[in-house]
Homo-oligomer: A and B are copies of this chain.
Amino acid sequence: MIIVLGPGTTKDAIEYITKKIEDAGLKPLVSSGVERTVINVIGDERILDKNQFEAIPCVEKIIPILKPYKFASREFKQENTVIKVDGVEIGGNKIVIIAGPCSVEGKEQIIEIAKAVKEKGAGMLRGGAFKPRTSPYAFQGLEEEGLKHLKEAKKEIGLPIVSELMDTKDIELLLEYVDVIQIGARNMQNFSLLKEIGKINKPILLKRGMSATINEFLMAAEYILAGGNQQIILCERGIRTFIDHSRNTLDISGIAVLKELTHLPVISDPSHAGGKAKLVTPLALASIAVGCDGLLVEVHQDPERAFSDGEQSLNLDAFGKLMDEAGKVAEALGRTI
C-alpha cells in the first residue's frame, strides 16, 4: 500500500500515520518528494483498512499494491484449474460448449433440445428453472418441476446439467438435481449466497455482474474459494455501457485479462452479451479467438415461441453453424471443441 500525503502535511501527521502502520506490525517507508510525501507500507497490506487511512484529512490518496484476492490469483496457483463435471473437463485444451434454452418449458422441450445440442457437439445442457426476470409479471420459471425435467433430460440424453440458483433457501434443491450451479449476473455480489455455496461440493458457474470490474469479479470468486469450494467457472457475459446496438458490451479484453490473472476456467456467454440471435455466432468466435475455455449459448427449437429470451436464442440450425465455425477457429489456435 502506498499512502500519498497532500501538500503541507505536518511532521506530526506523518508520525501519526507511521505509528498506525507500525502498530499493525508493518513497516512504513517515508520518502519526501518535491511536492508530495509518500509512505510505502512494507508487509502484507491486506491487514490494513484502506478506508481508515483515507479518512485521515492529510491523506490525498491510497494506492493498494497487492491484489485483494489470494486464492483466485495465478500467483497462488500457477497451473490452470481443470474442473471435472461428470466426465466433462472444463479449463483444459478442449473448449466446452454449454447449450440449451433460457427457460425449461416442459419435459419434451428440454429433451428435444438436449438431444439436438448433444448431436451437434455440446458438452453440457443449460436450462433455467428459477428465472431472474426484470418484470414481476413475466414468466418466473417452472422451479422444482423444471429441475425434474432437467434431470430427466440428463437421464435420457446424458449431458451434465447447469441451472441457476437464486436464493440460499433453494440450495438443497439444486444440489439434488444439477451438476453445476449457476450464479447469475444480478447475484454476483449476493454475498450471503456466495458464502453458502462456498461450503458445498459442487462446481459453480459464476457470471460477472453487468457493472463489475475484474477485481470485483475475482473477489466474488474469492468468497467462494475462501469458503472451501475450489470449483469455479467464471463467465463473462457483457457489461453495461452507453451503447445500444447490443444488449450488453462483451468485454472481450476482460477474458484475456482474466486468463492472465487467475487459474480458474473462463467462459463467455455471447447470447446475453449480444442480445440478438445474429450477434451470437460472431461473438462466440471472437471469444474463442481471445482465449476462452467454453461458451454458454442459448438454444431453442422455436425461438419465436420461447417463454423467455427468444430474441437472442439460436435455433437448432444456427447452433449447428456456430459449432462448425467455432470448431475451425479453435483448431486454428491449437484447441479442440
Give chain A's interface residues, CB within 8 Å of chain B.
Answer: 2, 4, 7, 29, 31-36, 38, 40-44, 46, 49, 51-52, 54-56, 63, 65-66, 68, 75, 132-138, 140, 166-169, 186-187, 189-195, 210-211, 213-214, 216, 219, 222-223, 226-227, 239-246, 249-257, 260, 273-274, 276-279, 282-283, 285-291, 303-313, 325, 328-329, 331-333
Contacts and interface: CB of A to CB of B under 8 A. Distances in A.
Nearest to A214: B245
Contact of A309 (B51, B166, B249, B306): B51
B279 A257 contact: yes
Nearest to A226: B136
A289 B290 CA distance: 9
B239 A241 contact: yes
Given A288-B289, A325-B333, A55 B304 contact: yes
20 contacts: A33-B40, A33-B41, A33-B42, A35-B65, A38-B40, A49-B138, A49-B307, A49-B310, A56-B304, A134-B219, A136-B219, A166-B192, A214-B243, A240-B240, A241-B251, A245-B254, A252-B286, A285-B333, A329-B332, A329-B333
Central interface residue in A41, A255, A286, A305, by most chain B CB within 10 Å: A286
Given A52-B306, A241-B242, A245-B253, 17 more contacts: A33-B42, A33-B65, A34-B42, A49-B138, A51-B309, A51-B310, A51-B312, A52-B310, A52-B311, A56-B304, A134-B219, A186-B189, A241-B249, A252-B283, A253-B279, A282-B289, A282-B290
A162 to B, nearest CB: 19
A283 B253 contact: yes
A190 B187 contact: yes
Nearest to A305: B52
Contacts of A325: 333
Nearest to A327: B332
Contact of A222 (B135, B253, B305): B135
A242 B245 contact: no
A253 B282 contact: yes
Contacts of A254: 243, 245-246
A312 to B, nearest CB: 8
A32 B27 CA distance: 11
Contacts of A287: 286
Nearest to A222: B136
The 6 closest A-B pairs by CB, nearest first: A54-B311, A211-B211, A55-B310, A167-B192, A289-B289, A332-B332
Contacts of A250: 252-253
Contact of A310 (B54, B226, B257): B54
A8 to B, nearest CB: 10
A326 to B, nearest CB: 10
